[in-house]
Structure 1
């Protein structure tokens, strides 16, 4: 009879238990993700729609146990930022070199302009600093920064609800505002020349060329001798002599008229031409080259490192060339081609291009693994070790002159730094940091969905009341200004002063504003990959700076 009494159904959704919390959060996340796939005027909110579903659920009276809410929100935020740091870690420090330095400086300009506007507007409006920080986080669609700000407010004994509410109110125009700014810049300021693709400088990108030995200074010298006397990094993949092809070892003596297939970087080609004597004109960098058709004796094969014992070892320490008579010409890591130098530290998941005889390559496969199935097994231990280290880093008080209370990186700052450092240097400590792309996206998706659902649910009870008040309209207006003005100003600086193309400019703007929705729009209107490359270059540093700034503002002005 009790089944016909609907009290059990009411209790399931409204009585605050662990079961009820799981059900409510799961419903918010699943509904939000489903609706987030809808495109309105070519724009979809994606996972951000979970945030608004949480607001709606809170407005309709749904609530979960406060401790469960705090736990799920904190764990989701930690999971998201750590997985993000782990993903961008391998390329983070190299992105700060050359072209990445300019992009990051422009991105910092966007961040500083918005911050200055927020502080100045606090002085001339009745908006409190906690509310203004929430507006800043919403206007820049940066929920991890809001998480850091909330942690700081708790340390200072201040309420966190105002910051969360002001962020929720300004977030929608934060998403749309960047897209509107890009549209305005494109319509009013972009010239046809700005749409042309400028090559994105990558100092590590491999370049293949053939040379003939015509320099008497290197006759009868070994390849090892050349490596010692030259500062240029290069790998000789094949050597042709008297019509015969071979894989040269480091002891191989060079003779006049030898032809060499060399892997290096494009900026070093001219120096190598001087070293060897002459560069041949053939272009070896086309994607359609059949490397196995170059000669009948040798084959080229891609081998993936899947044995954990190889993780963190230097390529030269394996002595594969001398032991098996093969050559490793290139290494592909996270979509980036690396030179296979002896000093290169190998990581699980690296894909090596190996050249040699078929029997020798089979032996090398046994050494390196080449078992893709092994890589699909998640390395959960290293993930949770990294999270623990990140939380420890986030809890360290950092004394800053002029500020009474020490700053902490908190739940958002600590794990993202740990993720970046472990992702970059973990293999050197033989720590397995490899995760498949799908596993990384799953971790980030679960973490961000949990965080946004809890954040929206916590803000929803008073959201619509706030929007309808004059105070809410003021928040929305100021948030739009903080979104729109810095983006337009720095777009003009990038296009006119720095002579960047429009694709790289859009990627820089979207990365500095932590706005993947705007990046999707930029990818739709620009035919090349420059927006995505620039976004990935700027995003990690921009995210870190925003997390720190959100805390510093509160520490200084409260």
Structure 2
């Protein structure tokens, strides 16, 4: 049996492409690698010689990849829109819209087809979801050709931009960071204030009736009445003379003090040793449970005052569902906090939790959603397709974590497995389909495609940076981190992290990335109507 006959076997062809592509993707030149995109380039070479991976494999991979992306982004995406972090989301969205407008100009200037144009945009933004949406919207494999041509410059341009710009402008990144505290910088750690109740209006009323701290960071952790220590609950009755141990940000504590009475000094060591501690959620059986379900106050006498996730701090909320890696700021006695810390640190051997029933149902709902025609007045009708439908379904279900029998909070390793397998299957199929016309397109329009890709990369970078610095007055470090998120450039973030010892770039990246990820998939489909 010769090699050509062996490669005609679909599974053999698929796994040879995955093997060679993944091997090539691990190779690094000055710290930069192609990663998963090497599978696409490998598949394009095989496609050039007439080999083809089944379209069913491609669509299966696409739907798995998109669902994993949606489930990962869902919890953060909707929550970010309710916080000051939405500024970074605006920068991510603006970056994508600028790239789309630039793509329209390049398509007109160089007379490029819709598929090539959107493919180039996806490559310039190094966005695989954008490529997926482009293929879905155009049904033309030339989108993959455009992506493959623009991708290398897209990676290199962002890496060089974040490394060279501070040097060209002669900016000390860390000093600049201290002068400009962006909206996602960590807020001050919660403080403890003891407030003596002197208000007649508060006498013999419950904490629920008084609405103490409602809508703020502040939480009443303990009520001290004489020599007694009382765990504060919503139905705890407050009396004049009670001393309330209150935890929160200074401004919120001041507001409660003005409402109830006056601040007094209290030596906590004489009152049940009240302590503050940050506890990390590591136990797998805590994932997906809400603070209300855990009833930490009632069961353990511990109050959660703040929750940190992915670099962002949030006010505690009873309905908040926990994820591995969440950091809880808890208040109580040292012994009780020790007990709760053990609860959250217990680990089971289980490291993945893919729920096949839930995954199948999310995929089915997403694909059905993607088949519904959407009419856009004056432009025509589009469908969300195999890319947009599962993305929306996963975003919504991922936000809630659980809907009826559907469980969507998979552990990070599980989500990573689904995403990686889906991505390589999609790239293998898309690459072989695009490879058939690769040589002809490059021969005819190679220089035009390279020029278009360069412009589509550079214009959003420059405009996004100006908006971040001049309009939102962000530090250069936050601005560059947000741009990496807006360009969906992980290599760019890696390069930025190499030149500064700070987590701020990653925080800005994480805030902008979900917005860019979702908008590039949607814009790619809508852009077809304008080309």
Aligned to 1:106: 91
Q: Cα gap change, 1:389/1:551 in structure 2, threshold over 3 Å: closer, same or farther?
A: same
Match of 1:63 among 16, 27, 51: 51
> What CA deviation, in whole Å up to 9, does each residue of 1:118-170 have, x standing for no partner?
2122223232333222222221222222222222223xxxxx13222122112
For 1:434, what is the secondary structure of its paired residue?
A: coil
- Count residues with an aligned counterpart: 521
Deviates more, 1:190-199 or 1:21-30: 190-199
Instruction: Note the C-alpha offset of 1:482.
Output: 0.8
Conserved? CA contact 1:204–1:337, under 8 Å: yes
**Counterpart Cα distance in 1 of 2:453 and 2:341:** 58
Does structure 2 conserve the Cα–Cα contact (< 8 Å) formed by 1:326 and 1:357?
no
Counterpart in the other structure of 2:169? 189
**Which residue does the alignment assign to 1:50?**
39
Alignment of 1:82-481 (within 5 A): 82-154=67-139, 160-189=140-169, 191-192=171-172, 193-196=175-178, 198-201=180-183, 207-217=189-199, 218=202, 221-227=205-211, 232=216, 234-240=218-224, 245-250=229-234, 251-256=236-241, 258=243, 260-262=245-247, 264-265=248-249, 268-277=252-261, 295=272, 315=292, 321-322=297-298, 324=299, 326-330=301-305, 332=307, 334-335=309-310, 338-341=314-317, 343-347=318-322, 353=330, 355=332, 372-373=348-349, 376-404=352-380, 406-427=381-402, 429=404, 431-464=406-439, 466-467=441-442, 469=443, 471-481=445-455
Q: Does 1:11 align with 2:16?
A: no
Cα deviation 1:165-192 (Å, max 9, x = unaligned) = 1221121112112223334432333633
The normalised TM-score by structure 2 is 0.84
Q: Deviations over 1:500-524 (max 9, x none)?
A: 1122212221222222121211222
SS at match of 2:382: coil
1:470 Cα offset (Å): 5.4
- SS in structure 1 at match of 2:103: helix
Cα distance between partner residues in 1 of 2:353 and 2:118: 41
Distance in 2, matches of 1:239 and 1:414, equals 51
1:4 matched residue in structure 2: none
Structure 2 gaps, min length 5:
none
> TM-score normalized by structure 1?
0.81
CA displacement at 1:257 relative to structure 2 = 6.7
CA distance in 1, matches of 2:56, 2:80: 34
State how far apart, in whole Å, the 1-side matches of 2:79 and 2:188 are.
15
RMSD value, Cα? 3.8
Range that drifts further, 508-517 or 234-243: 234-243
Residue 75 (structure 1) aligned to one of 33, 57, 60: 60
CA displacement at 1:339 relative to structure 2: 4.0
For structure 1, which runs of at least 5 residues remain unmatched after alignment? 1-6, 155-159, 283-290
Q: Deviations over 1:359-392 (max 9, x none)?
A: 99979999x9966446743322212211111112
Q: 3-state SS of the aligned residue for 2:407?
A: coil
